[in-house]
Structure 1
Amino acid sequence: MNKDIKVLIVDDHPMIIEGYKNALLGINSDEMTLRIDTADSCDGAYTKIKNSSTGTPYDVIFLDIKLPPSADGKIISGEDLGIKVKELLPDTKVVILTMFNNNFRIHNILKNINPDGFLVKSDVTSDELMRAFQVVLTDPPYYSHTVTKLLRTRIINEVVLDDIDRNILFHLSKGIKTKNLTEYIPLSLAAIEKRKRHLKEVFDVEKKGDESLLEQARNTGFL
């Protein structure tokens, strides 16, 4: 019997979305028909995810990590979207597709989302994308070469940043002063300052001020 598989692809580069669509549509068969939606921002993706949660849920959602943040600043990356998907659509398979190949960043995403698939874009070919899709549907997880190598060699940093840490970094990167972060973060100023000190320890930043911290956050893919 032919089964409809509902898919959402989230990426802010139209050519990449088109490439993914073309690869996946090559899987259409007598047993499976793909219905593919796309989104190019956190707001656009979150709207479709919410609508799906009250209608026909997506079977698989492909998420890029670096995306235009939501207008209200509450969803700042594909990582945040992945967490939302796990909350709203617990049976939906989440596949991360990202350019980041930093051990720390990959480990953080694995811990926060535990995705059903994780592919670093430099590893991805059309054949691998199709193979990942089929494995995720039947027997997840599927990890591309770079992720598998990281897990095999255990070159990982056990420190994980939660959504508050990532939001502190995000708002600092937008020029918000520490003293004003309480308007955006549900913590006291003292608690935020403690978090900042911890972030500097995580990123091994000794200099005063925020720029060195933000530079390290960018270098490791958190901004």
Structure 2
Amino acid sequence: MKKEKQSALIADNCPLICETYKSIISKVANLTSNFNFNTDITYNCNGAYEIIKRTIEKETSLNFVLLDLKLTPSTNRKILSGEDLGLLIRKLLPSTKIIVSTDCNDNYRIHNIIKSLNPEGFLIKNDLTSEELKNAIRNVVSNTPYYSKTVLKLIRKEIANNFIIDSIDRKILYELSIGSKMKDMPIYIPLSAASIEKRKRHLKKIFNVKDKGDRELILIAKEKGYI
């Protein structure tokens, strides 16, 4: 049976990781009778953009992208990170599947990436083995989402919680966790200081925090996976 041709892009700033990923993608192709992969590699946003532009100009397809979040920004500063690149791919190549592969294990960051990119695959490098990557690729190209255990743990924590924490609440919790002062928060959050304080009191009520300070609130929010 003739194999279906799949086009893949690996975007990671580490050449060794790129070569390892490419080797694993080739092994997936050898182990399956369904797919044959043509794989490009880039180490920065400039190179990735050129491949995206070429794909559009030639009216070809890019089936999936293995995307690191920490990519060197484009020289015009319009694409600052892997997340920006992912958003551009969503806009210009909406049928392209995205597999995020990152060493970031911050709950707040993971949540934001899920919300902004909604990737078909999400892998934390600390979870990653060659077998895990093979499974992710096989699943994603067959239209089945694949998240590694750290990401699944965060999602399960959120499902288990029976109250609603919106994006503003998360931002407040995050700013508290990194030591931001209340008087400075309106710089980063589109609310007045009084509104932020009111939300913080509500969060303490939700989490059943009795402490007048913020330490207990931060600890419980971290435990529940919100930061």
TM-score, normalization by structure 1: 0.71
Q: CA deviation at 1:157?
A: 6.5
RMSD: 2.3
**What is the aligned partner in structure 1 of residue 11 from structure 2?**
10
Amino acid at match of 2:8: V
Amino acid at match of 1:145: K
Q: Which moved more, 1:140-149 or 1:47-56?
A: 47-56
Q: Does 1:203 align with 2:175?
A: yes
Amino acid at match of 1:86: R
Conserved? CA contact 1:10–1:64, under 8 Å: yes
**Distance in structure 1 (CA, Å) of the matches to 2:117 and 2:68:** 13
Conserved? CA contact 2:68–2:101, under 8 Å: yes
Runs of 4+ in 1 over 4 A off after TM superposition: 199-202
Unaligned runs of 5+ in 2: 189-227
How many residue pairs match? The answer is 173
Unaligned runs of 5+ in 1: 161-198, 214-223
**What is the aligned partner in structure 1 of residue 92 from structure 2?**
88
Amino acid at match of 1:31: N
Q: CA deviation at 1:54?
A: 2.6
Match of 1:34 among 32, 37, 51: 37
The share of aligned pairs that are identical, in percent, is 40
Amino acid at match of 2:107: N
**Distance in structure 1 (CA, Å) of the matches to 2:141 and 2:73:** 29
Amino acid at match of 1:47: E
Match of 2:51 among 7, 32, 48: 48
SS in 2 for 1:21: helix
Match of 2:125 among 118, 121, 127: 121
| Residues 206 and 97 of structure 1: CA distance in aligned 2, closer, same or farther (over 3 Å) | same
CA displacement, residues 72-107 of structure 1 (integer Å, 9 cap, x when unaligned): 211111101111111111111111000001100000
Match of 1:135 among 133, 139, 156: 139
Conserved? CA contact 2:25–2:134, under 8 Å: yes
Amino acid at match of 1:63: L
